[in-house]
Amino acid sequence: MKEGKVYLIGAGPGDPGLITLKGIECIKKADVVIYDYLANPELLGYAKGDAELIYVGKKGGDHTCTQPRINSLVIQKAKGGKIVARLKGGDPFMFGRGGEEAEEIASKGVSFEVVPGVTSAVSVPAYAGIPLTHRDITSSVAFITGHEDPAKGKPGIDWSKISTGVGSLVFLMGVRNLAQIVSSLIENGRDPGTPVALIRWGTLGKQNTLVGTLDTIVELAKERSFTPPAVTVVGEVVRLRDRLNWFESKPLFGRRVIVTRARNQASEFSKLLREYGAEPLEFPTIEIIPPDSFNALDKAVDGLERYDWLILTSVNGVRFFLKRLRSGGRDIRDLKGIKICTIGPRTAQEMERLGVEIDFVPDEYRAEAIVEGLVRRGIEGKKILLPRAEEAREILPQEIRKSGGDVDVVSAYKTVRPLKEKERVRRLLKERKIDVITFTSSSTVRNFTEIFDKAEFPSLIRGVTIGSIGPITAQTAKELGIETDIMPGEYTIPALTEAIADHFSH
């Protein structure tokens, strides 16, 4: 049996972009991923398709799995010859009980490595516009657990020293003990007027920051029903937030945006939305899978020399076509002499990165514009191959045939409706906690409407801003009773993201 190994990985504070490169590499090669409540689930997307994913989260005293059980599980999987990625929020050695887990793993003779993470103690204040040290304010900072009850018999925290001996104090997970923390600081000499910031869900689009002073923060937290998880910062550096609050000033900060793209394509869109401060919620209404049969596509690939034009209308079409090309013992060299048309720049890029030159990309990224351009290039009598989705619109092949072209339409892939997350999205829509729904193709619109009850659907989306990638998608939405509020001039994901940001900026 091969020897197993454990990687204790810091998942960062929440923003999936803040995990380290080494952390991602370890997740990618793991056979088992054991993850906590504060580890962003998006990071599981880096795991292998056959990796075992095990949730062992702890949330406000509600333990899915006890610490001894977690230790036992990690060791059991590693001793079974598995590569284990133990994914922990923040940094594993910063109040993450990573030291305890490492001790237990080492005691059983299991090989392990620690992959440090970006701790929330530093990153969350930074996202709230609070530098923990500043040359003109303080050069000292202390990180303190907020879980310890200061009123217990023998506290592990020396309040008499930290209250006045350290400039900036950062308490992790201290909201439940906030009253005791505040009273201990004041009783030991800290000025009651010292600024305090509570930062909930830091580094995410739902980040919420509450600012007060030691003598007001407890009452403010009660009034606002401020709940964990949160980081507490005490010190004069909090005053800098008024000038340095960069994250919460982004145009889409606090906006929850539904991304309906297929799971394997959603991350690009989510990343762009996150750059504008939004909280993307991936709810794929389509899943891209192979067609029922590749026979027609394989036959076309076998007779590739017969074609004058190859038309590719999506990135998925490119990927599935090239995969079948290779399966048939061919490669891109067999495209020599065939003119290639793509519906837009993103599809073109997918081919160009392989060194394939594109002959025609229409100015408008839609089927009708392809036909107009091909007619100008003389397609009468030309043999055309169109590999595409199984259920795509018929307008493109119909117009090509009307213009004298001979087109073979073959299924390269098909789309189906996944139902994961349906109830969560329905609940958020009912609670008016969704700001934008985005549609990037006609199939995403159709599938989205079909997922929910027809009678309830109009009330669910009432007041929600609708973003469509282009006129064809917007037309499909209109036919289904959905009016588009945002549509970019260029029918691409980056342009749609920018249009959404512009809409809310104005």
Q: What's the pLDDT at 445?
A: 94
Instruction: Say yes or no: 404 and 445 in one domain.
Output: no
The pLDDT tens digits for 79-116 are 999 999 999 999 999 988 899 999 999 999 999 999 99
Q: What's the pLDDT at 93?
A: 95
Spell out the residues 6+ positions from residue 23 whose beta carbon is closer than 8 angstroms to its own.
9, 10, 11, 12, 115, 117
Query: What is the chain's mean pLDDT, rounded?
Result: 91
Are residues 147 and 173 in contact, defined by beta-carbon separation less than 8 angstroms? yes
The dihedral built from the CA positions of residue 54, 60, 65 and 70, taken in this order, carries a sign that is: positive
Instruction: Say yes or no: 29 and 96 in one domain.
Output: yes
Instruction: Say yes or no: 220 and 369 in one domain.
Output: no
Enter the tokens of residue 220: 């403010």
Q: Taking CA 314 as the corner, what is the angle to CA 313 and CA 318, rounded to the nearest 5 degrees? A: 100
Q: Taking CA 289 as the corner, what is the angle to CA 283 and CA 292, rounded to the nearest 5 degrees? A: 140
DSSP 8-state symbol, 368: H
The dihedral built from the CA positions of residue 472, 477, 481 and 483, taken in this order, carries a sign that is: negative
Instruction: Say yes or no: 103 and 155 in one domain.
Output: no
Instruction: Choose among 385, 388, 263: nearest CA to 317.
Output: 388
Residue 401 within any structural domain of the chain: yes
Are residues 297 and 321 in contact, defined by beta-carbon separation less than 8 angstroms? yes
Mean pLDDT of 204-219: 96
The pLDDT tens digits for 222-237 are 999 999 989 999 999 9
Domain that holds residue 12: 5-117
- Which range has the worst mean pLDDT, 41-45, 61-65, 140-144, 387-391? 61-65
Provide the number of structural domains found in the chain.
Answer: 4
Count Cβ atoms below 10 Å from residue 68 Cβ, excluding itself: 10
Whether the upstream peptide bond of residue 116 has omega within 30° of 0, thus cis, is: no
Residue 255 reports pLDDT greater than 80: yes
Rounded Cα distance between 40 and 42, Å, is 5
Q: What's the pLDDT at 417?
A: 75
CATH of residue 359's domain is: 3.40.50.10090
Which of 415, 443, 469 is the endpoint of a domain?
415
**Which residue's entry shows tokens 């919460």?**
248
Q: Taking CA 285 as the corner, what is the angle to CA 282 and CA 289, rounded to the nearest 5 degrees? A: 110
3-state SS string over 98-144? HHHHHHHHHHCCCEEEEECCCCHHHHHHHHCCCCCCECCCECCEEEE
Residue 250 within any structural domain of the chain: no
Encoded amino acid at 54, one letter: I
**Which residue's entry shows tokens 């990071």?**
43
Rounded Cα distance between 26 and 166, Å, is 37
Burial class (CB in 10 A: 0-12, 13-18, 19+), 292: exposed
Burial class (CB in 10 A: 0-12, 13-18, 19+), 449: middle
Residue 438 within any structural domain of the chain: yes
List 383's β-bridge partners, or say none: 406
Spell out the residues 6+ positions from residue 481 whose beta carbon is closer than 8 angstroms to its own.
458
Helix axes 471-479, 442-451, angle to 10 degrees: 30
Residue 135 within any structural domain of the chain: yes
Spell out the residues 6+ positions from residue 42 whose beta carbon is closer than 8 angstroms to its own.
16, 267, 270, 282
Q: How distant is the alpha carbon of residue 384 from its chain centre?
A: 38
Q: How distant is the alpha carbon of residue 281 from its chain centre?
A: 7
Rounded Cα distance between 118 and 79, Å, is 29
Instruction: Say yes or no: 309 and 384 in one domain.
Output: yes
Residue 86 within any structural domain of the chain: yes
Banded model confidence at residue 208, pLDDT cuts 50, 70, 90: very high
Banded model confidence at residue 365, pLDDT cuts 50, 70, 90: low
Residue 173 reports pLDDT greater than 80: yes
Residue 251 within any structural domain of the chain: no
Residues forming the active site: 36, 58, 173
Q: Which residue has the higher pLDDT, 441 or 418?
A: 441
Q: What's the pLDDT at 363?
A: 80
Pairing relation of β-strands 436-439 and 406-416? Answer: unpaired
Mean pLDDT of 37-65: 82
Instruction: Say yes or no: 235 and 136 in one domain.
Output: yes
Instruction: Say yes or no: 18 and 72 in one domain.
Output: yes
Torsion, Cα 226 199 271 457, to 10 degrees, reads 10
Which of 117, 137, 164 is the endpoint of a domain?
117
Enter the tokens of residue 87: 């994914």
Instruction: Say yes or no: 408 and 268 in one domain.
Output: no
Instruction: Say yes or no: 141 and 200 in one domain.
Output: yes
CATH of residue 50's domain is: 3.40.1010.10
Instruction: Say yes or no: 302 and 328 in one domain.
Output: yes
Residue 274 within any structural domain of the chain: yes
Torsion, Cα 365 367 372 375, to 10 degrees, reads 130
Q: How distant is the alpha carbon of residue 131 from its chain centre?
A: 26
Residue 23 within any structural domain of the chain: yes
Instruction: Say yes or no: 396 and 458 in one domain.
Output: no
Mean pLDDT of 197-217: 96
Residue 61 reports pLDDT greater than 60: no
Which of 394, 415, 436 is the endpoint of a domain?
415
The dihedral built from the CA positions of residue 56, 58, 64 and 67, taken in this order, carries a sign that is: positive
The pLDDT tens digits for 11-36 are 999 999 999 999 999 999 999 999 99
Instruction: Say yes or no: 280 and 425 in one domain.
Output: yes
